[in-house]
Structure 1
Amino acid sequence: MKTMMKRGIALALPLALVFGATVAAPSQAADTEITWLIDNGQSNQDVAKALVTAYEKANPGNKVTVVLRPGGTDGDNLVKTKLATGSMEDVFTYNSGSLFQALAPTKNLLDMTSQPFMKNVLSGFYPVVSANKKIYGVPFGTASVGGILYNKKIYAKLKLKIPTTWDEFMANNKKIKAAGIDPVIQSYKETWTSQLFVLADYYNVQAAHPNFAADYTANKEKYAKNKTALRGFEYIEEIKKLNYFNRDYASTTYAQALDKLALGQGAHYPMATWAIPQIAAQQPANLEDVGFFAQPGPKASVNGVTVWVPSGTYIPAATKNAAAAAKFVGWLTSAKAVDVMNSVEGFAGGPYYIKAASIPNALPGAIQDVMKYFAKNATAPALEFVSPIKGPNLEKILVEVGLGITTAKKAAAAYDADVVKQAKQLGIKGW
């Protein structure tokens, strides 16, 4: 995922930032000074700064140094290298689900199962940060939902209806193209953004094949052989053939794509709702021009959203500051921490997994759209949260489909081959 990382743009800035001004006394340094590794998305930086400021104010003498890492594959590799070499920061925030499993948690992370602060965490989060029946992380931020962000003004001008099937979606795209507007924005300059048409389609896959995740994990299902799962790859191929992408999609960045959408320079952007805080930061005057709908599938009667459970915050086994790290991680599960995150992001992408979490009264319109799917229970977790298998090269494979270098069928087969190595490394039966 970030990789679908979930909550921002990856700029690969190899530097450390210190947020907060409190300085611990030298004799207390070993117990009160810790480091925290996060990905360098701007919204993450803003949230981290606010959280650390509040934490240090509530805990005089404690100090947290925030270290930034790139997102995407580069970030994945850095996290694994730090853990393998014992050089990981005292606390780090990273994916839950399949990418968490790839960290060898029982070896590399501290067990949080018995920590008193775990009672603050909704039990629905436990499975995505657990291994061998032990819990290794707490949630960071909100859930996010994958689907289609769209420009409301374009829809109103062209009198378009929200599509609930793929055919309806493509009919809208045809009208949008005829009006001289880019129907679908893509941002292949940052390859991780290429994955949404496939990953956000998992709600439709699970609806048609309820046992897909288990069979996929057991090497009994393949994207290239399952017609429903293959559709996500075919969607990209279809849109490419009809020239519905923005002309500069190969060089467009994530941030530029969000600007295009908010400013009405494109009608649709397949993305997850972790983009909403970024839009609010970049184009605050146009935030309410952005709406959301579920990725359409084959049937109007099956219409729901794929949910990304929040990232996890973990403590490496090699830390020399376990007590101070646990104190900070525990504080992140508090109502106060949630209030701080709300004040920065305004309920970023979906619900929190913290029991004491409050919901702001004024939600962005796109998030109000999202909450309707939760209200009618039309949700399914992304595949990476119900299966430990996610190949590292999906984003690059899908870029090739979008550029017309390969076909959907060949790309799906390539991805099926891509996951084999990971499955074997995890020791999963059937591979």
Structure 2
Amino acid sequence: MTTRLKTQTALATLSLVLGGAASAQELTMLVGNNVDTVAAAEALTEAYTERNPDVTFNIEIRPGGSEGDNIIKTRLATGEMADIFQYNSGSLLQALRPSRTLMPINDIKNFDAMNESFIATVSDDEGNAFGVPIQPAMGGGILYHMPTYEELGLEVPLTWDQFMENNAAIAEATDKAPIIQTYRDSWTSQITFLADFYNVQQDSPGFAEAFTANEAKFATDPAALRGFERIQDMHESGYMNEDFGAATLDDGLAMVASGEGVHYPMLTFAIGAIQQNSPDQLQDVGFFALPGDDAGANGLTVWMPAAFYIPRGSEHPEIAKDFLNFVATPEGCDAITERVGAAGPYLVEGCTLPDDVPPSVSDMLPYFEEEGRTYPALEFLSPVKGPALEQLTVEVGSGIREAQSAAERYDADVAKQARQLGLPNW
């Protein structure tokens, strides 16, 4: 089921009243029901209509989850898709068979303004790209308590060894938990493992493709195994909060905001929760990428935003492409920021963030400003992610299982999923 929402500026209404109805074009748009997604779509369509009064939009809202996925796939298959629709980037997009169902947008004027890492997640094997990002990116790394760093004279670590040295200094000089873990919300146990993928890519280029083709394994690729080993390192160090097994996400965020704990491996979406729950301490929380083993190859694993796409059957393909071109401009970014704020860097060149963004947001910017310092998370490059991962990372982080054993179990877990997906060579 979808609902419809008319988006039309006063300027467009005036155009119709004055007799522009004959030349007016109305495009349909289908977006997910997330509040921020709907608000961003409204902001962008209103801004575009203000510049193009003869174009208006009819926004439909679909449910999320599997029901929303089925609506997308059904409407593409039956040729009843809206002129523009919003959907995931990355491996989930490939399930739509974009080469057959979507319109390439490589020729839009602002194509080269989009971040290369993002383009890779909305492209097919032949280099045809299909989407433009409609929200900021999200990073995976370490939220940290800045006043503690200042008090102890610590520097942001560029390597895992430096990170563990900082933890040792914190443990020696304070009664704070150097590392926060929150295994009651078991999904949070995966963050260290998932956020390490930039480092995997640096040490084992092409791992995602080889992994998807069943030609690489976590248990036998030393770079990939390090994700599990880092979790084991954290447990064996004794630097984790004592209640790591019972603590929740909210507990972890409160700890890093207050300084009760100093390092919390987390995705940057959580900055919004800190802003809501601990607004007076938001300026005390910074962010850095999960360190690897080489200071010269330090970078950020990125969770890519959803994108706008155009189906091949769009009734207004040229206007739809022009709209996507507008989304990929600083004006488009500004429209989103003004309506919903910005919780991370935009993936369009020239887009800026307000001066008053939290430190944890501005800390992400340098990674995006230097080519080669960001890379998509594995889930955006491969459809294979075993359901047992969070169970295994909890076991490693609790000292129940060693990293090598967890990697072997995970390889077996993903093999089952790959066969269920019908992937070749499994």
TM-score, normalized by the shorter chain, greater than 0.5: yes
Cα shift at 1:142 = 3.1
Q: SS of the counterpart of 1:34?
A: strand
Answer yes or no: is 1:252 the counterpart of 2:248. Answer: yes
Letter aligned with residue 129 of structure 1 = V
Is the contact made by 1:22 and 1:63 (CA closer than 8 Å) also made in structure 2?
A: no
1:223 CA displacement: 0.7
SS at match of 1:86: helix
Residues 191 and 145 of structure 1: is their aligned pair in 2 closer, same or farther, counting only changes over 3 Å?
same
Deviations 1:329-372 (A, max 9, x none): 4542343211122335665323423x553455565433443333
Rounded to whole Å, the distance in 2 between the matches of 1:324 and 1:190 is 45
Match of 1:105 in 2: 98
Q: Which amino acid aligns with 1:135?
A: A
2:198 is the counterpart of 1:165? no
1: CA distance between counterparts of 2:319 and 2:184?
Answer: 39
* Counterpart in the other structure of 2:72: 83
SS in 2 for 1:270: strand
Contact 1:83 1:316 in 2 (8 A): no
More deviation, 308-317/217-226 = 308-317
- 2:290 aligned with 1:290: no
Amino acid at match of 2:284: D
Q: Which residue of 1 aligns with 2:232?
A: 237
The 5 Å alignment of 1:109-188 reads 109-113=101-105, 116=108, 119=111, 121-122=113-114, 124=116, 125-133=118-126, 134-176=128-170, 179-188=174-183
The match for 2:88 among 95, 120, 123 is 95
CA RMSD across the alignment: 4.2
Q: AA paired with 1:372?
A: P
Q: Does structure 2 retain, via aligned residues, the 8 Å contact 1:216–1:222?
A: yes
Amino acid across the alignment from 1:111: M
| 5+ long unaligned stretches in structure 1 | 1-13
CA pair 136-154 structure 1, distance change in 2 beyond 3 A: same
Q: 1:244, CA displacement in angstroms?
A: 0.6
Task: State whether residues 228 and 407 of structure 2, in contact with CA within 8 Å, keep that contact through their aligned partners in structure 1.
Answer: yes
1:19-418 alignment runs, 5 A limit: 32=26, 34-38=28-32, 40=34, 44=37, 47-48=40-41, 50-51=43-44, 53-55=46-48, 62-65=56-59, 67=61, 69=63, 75=65, 77-86=66-75, 90=82, 91-107=84-100, 109-113=101-105, 116=108, 119=111, 121-122=113-114, 124=116, 125-133=118-126, 134-176=128-170, 179-188=174-183, 192-241=187-236, 242=238, 244-245=240-241, 247=243, 250=246, 252-253=248-249, 257-315=252-310, 329-344=324-339, 348-353=343-348, 355=349, 357-358=351-352, 360=354, 364-374=358-368, 377=371, 379-384=373-378, 387-393=381-387, 394-402=389-397, 406-418=401-413
- Give the aligned residue type for 1:298: D
Pairs aligned (count): 407
Does structure 2 retain, via aligned residues, the 8 Å contact 1:307–1:381?
Answer: yes
Question: Per-residue deviation at 1:379?
Answer: 1.4
Q: Which has the larger radius of gyration?
A: 2
Structure 1 405/43 Cα, relative in aligned 2: closer, same or farther at 3 Å?
A: farther
TM-score, with normalisation over the residues of structure 1?
0.75
Give CA deviations for 1:399-424 in whole Å, capped at 9, x if unaligned: 45445564433332233234335655
Q: 1:15 to 1:168 in 2, by over 3 A?
A: farther
Counterpart contact for 2:81–2:313, Cα < 8 Å: no
Matches of 2:198 and 2:130, distance apart in 1: 27
Q: Contact 2:137–2:347 at 8 Å: present in 1 too?
A: yes
Conservation of the 8 A alpha-carbon contact between 2:92 and 2:380 = no
Structure 2 residue ranges without an equivalent (≥5): none
Alignment check: 8 A CA contact 1:219 1:430 kept: yes
Partner deviation per Cα, 1:236-288 (whole Å, 9 max, x = no partner): 234345361462665624x5543443333431221233444554455443332
Partner secondary structure for residue 244 of structure 1: coil
Between 196-205 and 396-405, report the one with greater CA deviation.
396-405
State the distance in 1 between where 2:8 and 2:286 align.
39
Structure 2 distance, partners of 1:256, 1:319, is 47
Letter in 1 for 2:240: Y
Contact 2:180 2:244 in 1 (8 A): no
% same residue = 36
